[in-house]
Amino acid sequence: MSEQDSQSTYVETKSGSSWQLPAIILLALLAIGGLGLAWSNSSKLDATKQAVTDQVKAVQTSVQSDVNTLKDRVAQDEKANTELQGDLKVVTDKLKITQSQLKKARAEAEQLNTDTTSKITALDTSVHQELATKATSDDVKTVDTRVTQVDTNLNKTISDLNMARSELGTLIAKNHDEIDVLRRMGERDYIEFSIAGKNKSQKVGNISLQLTGTNEKKNRANLLLTVEDKTTEDKNRSINQPLFFYLGGSHQPEEVVINKIGKNQISGYLSIPKASSQPATSASSSNSGK
């Protein structure tokens, strides 16, 4: 080989090695950059995974809390439903009793109305028949008198139908309106009273009454009755059950009737025959004038 050829080969070899080194360095830099980018992406991915995990845990916690709350509400609703069913049963049972009582009361009222209507119809027919057969004015006057008498008897009949009678035959009033009916009949005097409080003597007409105790559930009361300076104890007196007593020299009894019993209080009336009635005042005289 000539010297010229050797120099040419050396120049080519030197020229080839000069561009390879920068290429290797560039590739190394690219590799390092790729590794850095991969590491960065890996870090971001881990952070994202952690964030997602935290969010999932938060959602799970929230859902569990909502589920527990829902369970509590369902339990409360079931308890309330059970209580409502119990209350409904009680109301239903009471309603059945009330309907039974109402049906019985209606039947009694219808029967009473039928009996009263029948009597009124019979009396009206009798009066019209008599009027039809009478021609003179004197006969008409007589019939008018009989009509008035029939009217009075009818009112008494209606009162008898609505009021019970005691064993001595006296009518028993159950309230103020019925007491007024008895007053209008004029057979006896009636003095209403109201006693509030125990062991306090109260003047009622020609007697004194003292309340010593009450039993609201059984509608009973205990009394001390003072008549002509003699005191008698009466226990377990029921509502609308007359208490009879006689004054000295009288053959007709007076009677005390209790119409209402409350806690340590009662109200009712004193019934006095006209023949033995005396002017008297009561601590509850304001009631007697109603």
Higher per-residue pLDDT: 15 or 82: 82
Nearest to 175 by CA among 257, 68, 285, 263: 257
Name the H helices within the chain.
3-133, 137-162, 176-185, 285-288
How far apart are the C-alpha atoms of 210 and 230, rounded to whole Å?
A: 13
The tens digit of pLDDT for each residue in 197-239 reads 899 899 999 999 999 999 989 999 999 999 988 999 999 999 9
How far apart are the C-alpha atoms of 62 and 68, rounded to whole Å?
A: 10
Least confident of 21-35, 170-184, 190-204: 21-35
> Can you give the pTM of this predicted structure?
0.42
SS3 170: coil
The tens digit of pLDDT for each residue in 250-282 reads 888 999 999 999 999 999 999 999 864 444 433
Q: How many CB atoms lie within 10 A of CB 214?
A: 20
Residues with Cβ within 8 Å of 187's Cβ and at least 6 positions away in sequence, in order, are 273, 274
Q: How many CB atoms lie within 10 A of CB 188?
A: 20
Tell me, which fold does domain 173-288 have in CATH? Tick-borne Encephalitis virus Glycoprotein; domain 1 (2.60.98)
Chain-centroid distance of CA 190 in Å reads 36
The answer to whether 195 and 266 have CB atoms below 8 angstroms apart is yes
Higher per-residue pLDDT: 134 or 122: 122
The residue ranges of every structural domain in the chain are 20-126, 127-165, 173-288
Least confident of 88-92, 129-133, 142-146: 142-146
Average of pLDDT values for 91-108?
71
Which pair of tokens denotes residue 139?
């006969």
pLDDT above 90: percentage of residues in the chain? 23
How far apart are the C-alpha atoms of 33 and 22, rounded to whole Å?
A: 16
